[in-house]
Structure 1
Amino acid sequence: MKVLVVDDDEKILKVLTAYLEKEGYSVITARDGWEAVDKARQLGPDIVLLDVMLPSLDGWGVCKEIRRTSDVPIIMLTARDDEADRIIGLELGADDYVIKPFSPKEVLARMRAIFRRLQPASRRDGGERILKVGDAVLDQNSRSLTIAGTPVELTPTEYKLLELFLAHPGQVFSRLQLIEKVQDYAFEGYERTVDSHIKNLRKKLGASPDEPHYIKTIYGVGYKLVGEQHA
């Protein structure tokens, strides 16, 4: 698998490159924002590790540019410990973030959690796995979503959230439960990031801010799926 590591800190690039190559990954590096965008488009990495503070184009801008053409998983690497700053990246389509200073082992664990979310659903009988709500159709075999017949791209986190909601219609999930089930870890302080993923998912499902159909907020608790649902 190819990993694009984007950081202007040479030490971080060397440490992550050495560690990931030791784990069997092929590593591509970039030191500024537009170089990262070009390499993401030309080389097709399987995942992007993206620093926020970059020359020429910051990490948020890089994330936005990549999301114009690709749903490749993105993990933001940030020295900013402010929740508002972290949420910006998630709302632009990042799947996760790691706060600096970090250990390469933590980064690898986050990568593996995302790759597990990318694994197709298994079915012993090899049959069709289709989940529906309203005009939204989720095909678990191809991991694809269509809305009224139109394909809609989802990030790995958005896909897992929608799959979870569709598999448990009407069940209320707290933010901490969602982050644990979808991202394979549950750290207090991280659960508010679910709101950003839900916001992005609602947009893709065609919801307006004033009428967020399908995924309903249960104030003080979390979220649940509503609407006509079929399995």
Structure 2
Amino acid sequence: MNTLLLIEDDHRLANMVSEYLQQSGFTVQHAANGLDGLKVLQSTAPALVLLDLMLPDIDGLEVCKRIRALPGALAQTPVLMLTAKGDPMDRIVGLELGADDYLPKPFEPRELLARIRAVLRRHAPGEATEATHQTLKFGSLELDRDARSVSVRGDVCDLTAYQFDLLWVLAERAGRVLSRDQIMEAVRGRELEAFDRSIDVHMGRIRAAIEEDAKAPKRILTVRGVGYVFAKQQD
């Protein structure tokens, strides 16, 4: 499926982006405000949502929050948030609410296209077979790569596609200290942001999902001045 939903109130920008993405093989649905965007999302089930932060009715943060509260697969729809340059706190909050990525305005259309493709690759389900099915288990924590799911004591954790990939990279290399650069290089499609500190926000989100106490983590440990390590200890 190659349908994208663009929620953007700037009609000139929306037309420019839609035309560029359509030339790149996507079908683009456009909504000029958040509430209309949520209606279109539920009726078309797009592959990805391009979500402007500043909207005339409810802002992009609220839209993202409502998307993640939708029933079934709609809640897992990838969200790429478009933010005003110089608003790092909004980006952090957006990531904490479940956005998969963000892109500051103004942006180059080619970078937008690259980000879209990267998010879609991360979100694409793998073809599960008995021979290739991969799971990792550490005590009560279990990761299923083909189902792209994480559970603790049987309860499924709420993670975005990118957050799952970050956790998988760490868990697959349990006990090994990885720098932020090494982690992002291992997560396909993130080469554009080799020094993106938003990884710390994502790690906080992952900890909140899998740790008993996110403020005193026992699984994902920070190695000051280096990066992160996934601890091997059992529950």
Would the TM-score normalized by the shorter structure come out above 0.5? yes
Match of 1:111 among 113, 116, 132: 116
* Mapped pair 1:49 → 2:50: yes
Out of 120-129 and 170-179, give the one that drifted further.
120-129
Q: Note the C-alpha offset of 1:136.
A: 1.5
- Decide whether the 8 Å contact of 1:117 with 1:160 is kept in 2: yes
- Decide whether the 8 Å contact of 1:202 with 1:215 is kept in 2: yes
With over 3 angstroms needed to count, the CA separation of the structure-2 counterparts of 1:186 and 1:102, relative to structure 1, is: closer
With over 3 angstroms needed to count, the CA separation of the structure-2 counterparts of 1:58 and 1:115, relative to structure 1, is: same
- State TM-score, norm by structure 2: 0.88
In structure 2, the residue matched to 1:156 is 161
In structure 2, the residue matched to 1:132 is 137
Classify the secondary structure of the residue corresponding to 2:116.
helix
Out of 160-169 and 114-123, give the one that drifted further.
114-123
Q: Aligned partner of 1:47: which letter?
A: L
- Structure 1, unmatched stretches of 5+, are none
* Cα displacement string for residues 16-66 of structure 1 (whole angstroms, at most 9, x for unaligned residues): 111111222121111111112222233211111111111110111111111
Classify the secondary structure of the residue corresponding to 1:142.
coil
Distance 2:191 2:160 in 1: 18
Distance 1:83 1:103 in 2: 19
With over 3 angstroms needed to count, the CA separation of the structure-2 counterparts of 1:168 and 1:188, relative to structure 1, is: closer
Q: Note the C-alpha offset of 1:118.
A: 2.5
User: RMSD across aligned C-alpha pairs, in angstroms?
Assistant: 2.1
- Decide whether the 8 Å contact of 2:98 with 2:159 is kept in 1: no
Distance 1:186 1:178 in 2: 13
In structure 2, the residue matched to 1:184 is 190
* Cα displacement string for residues 152-173 of structure 1 (whole angstroms, at most 9, x for unaligned residues): 3321111101110111001112
User: Percent identity between the aligned chains?
Assistant: 38
Q: Note the C-alpha offset of 1:127.
A: 3.8
In structure 2, the residue matched to 1:98 is 103
- Decide whether the 8 Å contact of 2:7 with 2:32 is kept in 1: yes
- Structure 2, unmatched stretches of 5+, are none
* Mapped pair 1:67 → 2:68: yes
With over 3 angstroms needed to count, the CA separation of the structure-2 counterparts of 1:24 and 1:143, relative to structure 1, is: same
- Decide whether the 8 Å contact of 2:6 with 2:28 is kept in 1: yes
Distance 1:203 1:41 in 2: 28
Distance 1:142 1:112 in 2: 20
Out of 54-63 and 82-91, give the one that drifted further.
82-91
Match of 2:199 among 185, 188, 194: 194
Corresponding residue pairs, total: 228
With over 3 angstroms needed to count, the CA separation of the structure-2 counterparts of 1:72 and 1:124, relative to structure 1, is: closer
